[in-house]
Structure 1
Amino acid sequence: MAIKKRIANSAICSVAVIISIVLANYSSEIRTSKAGLEIIGNAESCIREPYLCPANVLTVGIGSTTGNIENRYYSDDEIAQRWVDDIKTAERCVNRYAKGFHLPQSVFDAVTSITFNVGCAKIRTSTMYKYLNTGDYKAACNEFPRWNKAGGKELNGLVIRREKEKALCLSGI
């Protein structure tokens, strides 16, 4: 039992360490601030080896589901790079479909977090994005709690995440 537990715990990595690596080495590549990274990272957690998330999607690192995911342990640097690539994908979606370049930082961070989580294809035609495009940031921020399900089931972790995103979103308007 102790060996299995130790092996399982060794697969966990530190979100704070990954955020530090991202801020030190990749901050010029992304707009998402430390506050946004903390919401995403703490909600997703950090796991060094592939696993199935609650929506039954193969995942590694900090919520990375894209690209080739090999069945092995990933280093902090590999996790940071995958995460930056995924954050850049979410940011491109926010910029393209929600006038991201014009959003206040806290709104941008929160919207990038939810976009990272649910994917661009699902959210780009949402009511939230429509409000962002019209500049009604408060209404957009109030849409976060509606996105609390995975696989059709409400998840407590998503309820908590959406409240944090909503609070961050509202903090800058």
Structure 2
Amino acid sequence: MVSVSRKGVFGGTCAVMTIIGIVVSSGTVTTSEAGLKLIGDAESCHRDPYVCPAGVLTDGIGNTHGVKAGVRKSDAQIAADWEKNILQAESCVNKYANGKKLNQGQFDAVTSITFNAGCGQMQNSTMFRMFRDGKFTEACNQFPRWIYGGGKQLPGLVNRREREKAMCLRGTL
């Protein structure tokens, strides 16, 4: 049986900026480099699978799709998974949060929280409803409500939500 680390230090780490460079060079994501950096820094990058604070087997930069215990990934594999996950989050933002009407900071911040919490959690949220209704500042002020993982407040989420809220509010006041 292959063991998996609970902290994400089971094996090698990878450089978030290297993965960002690969994803940005593909030209397929709408999220800016600053938005990708916010997500990448919050998630960190791991070549080997680990169990995240919510108890989910994860690898790369917050990837939970098709993760197999004991399988180490290359930069190219991590970038491909991350790009797919970012595109899914962006699609959700466009479909349920008025994404085409958001400025870049709003779009990046909302993509970050959607990447983290999942489209299923976000699509019917008060935040997304406010974005659909054009209440952008009010929607940006919803970020601090999303600080729980596995039923408890997580310091990493408190920090991430503060950064997302600040990014979201730029240009809306």
5 Å-filtered alignment, 1:1-173, equals 11-24=12-25, 26-27=26-27, 29-66=28-65, 68-70=66-68, 71-173=70-172
TM-score (norm. length: structure 1): 0.91
Distance 1:137 1:103 in 2: 8
Judged with a 3 Å threshold, the aligned counterparts in structure 2 of structure 1 residues 20 and 9 are, in CA distance, closer, same or farther, namely: farther
CA contact (8 A) 2:10 2:50 kept: no
Q: CA deviation at 1:102?
A: 1.3
Which whole-Å deviations, capped at 9, do the CAs of 1:96-134 have from their partners, x for residues lacking one?
111111111110000000000000001110010011001
**Alignment check: 8 A CA contact 1:105 1:172 kept:** no
Displacement of 1:21: 1.1
| Counterparts of 1:19 and 1:32, CA distance in 2 | 11
Tell me: CA distance 1:100–1:74, structure 2 relative to 1, closer, same or farther (3 Å).
Answer: same
The separation in 2 between residues aligned to 1:147 and 1:122, in whole angstroms, is 10
Please give the secondary structure, in 2, of the residue aligned with 1:51: strand
C-alpha separation in 1, matches of 2:113 and 2:153: 15
SS in 2 for 1:60: strand
Normalised to the residue count of structure 2, the TM-score between the two structures is 0.91
Q: Is the 8 A contact 1:49 1:72 kept in 2?
A: yes
8 Å Cα contact 2:35/2:108 also seen in 1: yes
SS class of match (2:164):
helix
Q: CA deviation at 1:156?
A: 0.4
Q: Give the unaligned 5+ runs of structure 1.
A: 1-7
The count of corresponding residues between Structure 1 and Structure 2 is 163
**Deviation readout 1:16-43 (Å, 9 max, x if unpaired):** 111111112x22x110001110110000
**Shift of residue 72 of structure 1?**
1.3
**Deviation for aligned residue 1:172:** 2.5
- Could you list the structure 1 runs, at least 4 aligned residues long, displaced by more than 2 angstroms after superposition: none
Aligned AA (2:14): C
What is the CA deviation profile of residues 46-67 of structure 1, one whole-angstrom value per residue up to 9, with x for unaligned ones? 000111100000111000012x
Question: Percent of aligned pairs with the same residue?
Answer: 52
Higher helix share: 1
